Amino acid sequence: MKVEVKEKTEPCCSKFKLFLAALSFVYFAKAFQGSYMKSSITQIERRFDIPSSLIGVIDGSFEMGNLLVIAFISYFGAKLHRPRLIGMGCLLMAVGALFTALPHFFQGRYQYETTVSQPQDANSTESILPCLANQSHVLKNEDISAESMAACEKEAGSSLWIYVFLGNMLRGIGETPVSPLGLSYLDDFAREENTAFYLAGIQTVGILGPMFGFMLGSFCAKLYVDIGAVDLDTVSITHKDSRWVGAWWLGLLVTAAVMLLAAIPFWFLPKSLQKQGEQKAQSMEDSPSEQDHFIPETPSPSETPRINISELAKGFLTSLKKLFRNTVYLLIVSTSLAQVNGFIGMITFKPKFMEQVYGQSPSKAIFLIGILNLPAVALGIIAGGFVMKKFKLNVLGAARVSASASVCSFLCLLIQYFLQCDNAQVAGLTVTYQGVNKVSYQQESLLSQCNMGCTCSLKHWDPVCSSGGITYASPCLAGCQTSSGVGKDMGFHNCSCVETWPVPSANSSVALGQCSRQNCDSMFRYYMAASVVGAFISACGATPGYIVLLRSIPSDLKSLAIGMHILIVRTLGGIPAPIYFGAMIDRTCLKWGLKKCGGQGACRLYDSDAFRSTFLGLIYALYSSSFLLWGVLYRSLVKRHKKLALRDQAKNGGQEEGAVDNANGNTVSEANLKNGIEQESECTI
């Protein structure tokens, strides 16, 4: 009699589902923390008065932390208690965020550069004379000895950016176990056909992290850095000013709290689980030793021999050699390396690009990235996972989807080069005082007949805007004679440079702040549309790309392969990309700020045309090289697929023809094919 065995359904609160939920939340938390740090890069650059190249080093310190431990975590972590290692990593990320925020509590209050002195009494009617009263201020700030500057730098705490560097590195160390151990744990205990769907779901939940991270960054960027400690009525700059510093430290405290919550579930998960769809055996029950220790206790002689650290270390080099003999794996790493270089450079300086090229405030740029680009990325990841599950694509199909998405997103990126706005009109920097566009930029060109008698500082950046839409570097350089009002409402009058401008203005007064870009709103909308469409298409290839990686390596090397992939890509992509992107962007600076102690600070104004060409040109070069590598990778996948097909055909043919024919010829060809495949990759697709 035939007995039907009904497969037991998985309970709604199984440990695998708990792990899936916990891993999704930790992906959210780490993306939330990392994206907030990215969104605060501009604020940190201004707070510590450092150039973009140095801020690139700070940004790359996260990958430096990964570099220190990821190879060992990926290899040894696969043999230990993976969930608890992930929990420990979450705790380290929380501590790193708190460490990064420490400089705010050690530094004094932020003092932005200005040539204008504020009346002590808010009700005072005192009139400041910008053109006549600046000489002592100029001498005080520009004629300073090296000894005095060193003492001033120490007092100002400008070297405290090192805490940000170290805290970000600690975050990188803590993030190390999440991806290699979490994804391998998922792939080990999930049904093979469900892996792509689960992976897409985790990445989709993870992409919500950057959305909230950028929104929090936008909110904090509008709050003054010393909020609660200063009277905001006395602050003469707004969040749109290039000297403004938002409350960058506040969001780090929030992200640290979220990361602490993400660590909790992993301490209650077992070392291993029952694979989905398999009958649960009594021997697979969780034992107390697996809950209490990273390394299992010594088993009895009848059980599996004990694995110690020395035995694991002996196999490490062998496993590395075996992994890097996989040609497909090497091509995947190379392709990812080119793409990640372009992506990291783009996402790090995209808010600054939107600010300098399209005249957007940092808070608005960050907000738009979080509210428009990132939802498009989430939808793209869902679409990619759905396509993989719906059509049950193999490795070749996944490679085609991923490569096609990369090419189409590059076309959207290419369109952005032609969506440009004119340079901001700044007298003496982008246009002459006669209204002619400038080709070369020099500090001396800030002087003209209209301000020659004012003895103005050429180093300070204290912009004012005339009614004609022309920005002047300071009220003094605009030739203003009198002023009125206090704080943000201060205005300057009888400005000789405004009076002598070729196009007559409605009046000869100027207001604090840089003029907004004219006729740039429509172009910015086109740019955002192209950016959102490109983000969606690019994200469609993310999940298929991961599947190509996971299916191109043997299961025993899966954690090591993912870890080495992250190690190489972050080392050669995440670390140098922000540095050389920042160094190239620094070359387009027109006006550097002045530190409190008189040294060169952060850049206040860029040549937007040169910025756009440099920034997009670097991205185009990197993505173009990745397309060439994609072609070589796809060709290798097709070649290997044909070899496997021939091997299967030879095997089936040999079974039909019999042992005699096999001995004469077919066995030799089959063995040669099999040996060739194993020597090349030692894996199956």
| DSSP structure string for 47-72 | HTT--HHHHHHHHHHHHHHHHHHHHH
Amino acid at site 170: L
Task: Check residue 505 and give its pLDDT.
Answer: 67
Within the chain, how many helices (H) and strands (E) appear? Answer: 24, 7
Could you tell me the CA-to-CA distances from 40 to 51, 101, 245, 468, 612 in Å, in that order? Answer: 15, 11, 10, 33, 21
Residue 171 CA, distance from chain mean position:
13
- How far is 17 from 472, CA to CA, in rounded Å? 61
Task: Check residue 568 and give its pLDDT.
Answer: 86
User: HSE-up of 253 (CA within 13 Å, CB side)?
Assistant: 10
Task: Check residue 151 and give its pLDDT.
Answer: 56
Spatial contact of 593 and 458, defined as CB atoms under 8 Å apart = no
Q: How many angstroms separate the most distant Cα atoms in the chain?
A: 110
Task: Check residue 535 and give its pLDDT.
Answer: 93
User: HSE-up of 338 (CA within 13 Å, CB side)?
Assistant: 17
Q: Helix or strand or coil: residue 510?
A: strand
Task: Check residue 146 and give its pLDDT.
Answer: 57
Could you tell me the CA-to-CA distances from 443 to 458, 460, 558 in Å, in that order? Answer: 7, 11, 57
Rounded to 10 deg, the angle between the 327-358 and 542-550 helix axes is: 160
Could you tell me the CA-to-CA distances from 91 to 76, 216, 257, 407 in Å, in that order? Answer: 20, 21, 10, 39
- How far is 329 from 346, CA to CA, in rounded Å? 26
- How far is 542 from 536, CA to CA, in rounded Å? 10
Spatial contact of 549 and 391, defined as CB atoms under 8 Å apart = no
- How far is 648 from 640, CA to CA, in rounded Å? 12
Q: State the burial class of residue 576 (Cβ atoms within 10 Å of its Cβ: 0-12, 13-18, 19+).
A: middle
Could you tell me the CA-to-CA distances from 442 to 65, 447, 589 in Å, in that order? Answer: 41, 10, 11
Task: Check residue 131 and give its pLDDT.
Answer: 76
**Which is nearest to 323 in space by CA: 536, 559, 91?**
559
Q: To the nearest 10°, the Cα dihedral for 619, 620, 621, 625?
A: 100
* Residue stretches of the chain with pLDDT short of 70: 1-13, 78, 117-129, 132-158, 192-193, 274-314, 438-444, 504-506, 598, 654-685
Could you tell me the CA-to-CA distances from 273 to 7, 19, 186, 420 in Å, in that order? Answer: 18, 10, 10, 55
Assigned token pair, 209: 């992290």
> pTM of the prediction?
0.77
Residue 329 CA, distance from chain mean position:
24
User: Which one-letter DSSP state was computed for residue 249?
Assistant: H
12-17: list long-range contacts, CB under 8 Å, 24+ apart. Answer: 15/269, 15/270, 15/273, 16/189, 16/190, 16/273, 16/274, 16/276
User: Which one-letter DSSP state was computed for residue 427?
Assistant: B
Task: Check residue 602 and give its pLDDT.
Answer: 85
**Which is nearest to 505 in space by CA: 536, 483, 472?**
472
* Beta bridge mates, 426: 471
Amino acid at site 651: K
Query: At which residue do the structure tokens 């740090």 appear?
Result: 37
* Beta bridge mates, 471: 426, 465
Task: Check residue 336 and give its pLDDT.
Answer: 92
Note the helical H segments in 40-177.
41-47, 52-76, 82-106, 135-142, 146-156, 161-175
- How far is 492 from 482, CA to CA, in rounded Å? 6
Task: Check residue 614 and give its pLDDT.
Answer: 94
Q: State the burial class of residue 306 (Cβ atoms within 10 Å of its Cβ: 0-12, 13-18, 19+).
A: exposed
**Which is nearest to 24 in space by CA: 194, 200, 267, 180?**
200
* Beta bridge mates, 431: 427, 437
